[in-house]
Amino acid sequence: MQTASAFLLWATAAKACGSNLTRSCVLEEAAKIDEWSGGGMHVASNPGVNEPPPCGIVIELVGTSYERIFPTEPGTYECNESWNAGFTNRWTDDAELDENRVSQNSQLSSALK
């Protein structure tokens, strides 16, 4: 689901670029999108700030199907800011994330600049 949503986000940004389809344009257009739910596939988030939403649901695999446990009302999410927890470890320290959670120490970051 997250992969499909990420592709749709890319496609939306790419469409906004029109014939100027460059990496820079796609990144700039994606940064302008401040509310994204993948067409309703997941809780809305703001991809431009690179932070996860503080919302979720709890589901349980029962036999061969998933059943919603919490919240019980279909189509809703439970949101609580305290659920977003920070952590650090060797990999996050090595990534040298800036205030926007963008790595300042990777070949990919250098390639995108």
User: pLDDT-derived band of residue 33, with 50, 70 and 90 as boundaries?
Assistant: very high
CB atoms within 10 A of CB 29: 19
- Report the pLDDT averaged over residues 99-106: 72
Select the highest-mean-pLDDT range: 4-18, 49-63, 81-95.
4-18
Burial of 45 (0-12, 13-18, 19+ CB in 10 A): buried
The per-residue pLDDT for 107 is: 55
Domain ranges of the chain: 2-112
Cβ neighbours for 13, distance < 8 A, ≥ 6 positions apart: 25, 26, 27, 29, 30, 33
Task: Please indicate, yes or no, whether the overall pTM of this predicted structure exceeds 0.85.
Answer: no
* Distance, CA of 17 to CA of 40 (rounded, Å): 23
The per-residue pLDDT for 109 is: 47
**Rounded alpha-carbon distances, angstroms, from residue 83 to 22, 55, 72, 79, 101:** 36, 8, 19, 8, 18
**pLDDT per residue over 79-91, tens digit each?**
988 877 666 666 6
CB 101 within 8 A of CB 74: no
